[in-house]
Amino acid sequence: MAGSDFLYVDIVGDRNLTRNLDQMPDIVRAILLEKVASWTNALEERVKDNISSRLTQKSGKLLSAVDSELIEENGKVEGRVLISGVPYAKPQEEGAVTPLHVIYPKNAKVLAFIAATGDKVFATRVLHPGAQIPASHFMKDAYREMGPQISRGIKQAVVEGIRKNMRS
């Protein structure tokens, strides 16, 4: 899945708590997995909300590419919110500069567009002057907003699981 258009945010929590997940009692592991799944879904929704509110152009393809997954392996649990298959996701997130370039038609013989004068124009190629794409930080800000809550929640989930384990 990893490629140049692959962008993600991980929820890994406190390394000391998640490092030895396989050594924790089953109830602790179950509670922690449930909580991480919940936070991952909430983070995914926050990213989608940020995209909808911050990007002024059509963002349907970008929105539909936002996904999440829960990974449990080697004694670790990870929630991941990711975007793949959308080459402009990373430039929208981090900002970028597009250089001067020529645009050619892909599926036709000519390009058709409305010029700044309001006239309809047909051209076999167009010289794009380049542009500055401002950073939107829809993923970074979503994690920054939820990070403290997630960190506290991971610790609380482990304490809750240990208490339940002690009672049983």
Domains in the chain: boundaries: 7-93+134-167, 96-133
Q: Left, alpha or beta for 144 (phi > 0: left; psi -120 to 50: alpha)?
A: alpha
Predicted TM-score of the model (pTM): 0.74
Low-confidence stretches of the chain (pLDDT beneath 50): 1-4
**Regarding beta strands 126-128 and 101-103, do their DSSP bridges make them parallel or antiparallel, or are they unpaired?**
antiparallel
How many Å is the Cα radius of gyration of the chain?
Answer: 22
**Residue 3: per-residue pLDDT:** 44
Residues in the chain: 168
pLDDT score for 160: 82
Give the Cα separation of 71 and 140 in Å (integer).
Answer: 20
The pLDDT value given to residue 12: 55
Q: What is the dihedral of CA 31, 161, 13, 136, to 10 degrees?
A: 50
Q: Are 125 and 111 in contact (CB under 8 A)?
A: yes
Question: Which pLDDT score is estimated for 11?
Answer: 59
CA angle 141, 155, 146 (to 5 degrees): 10
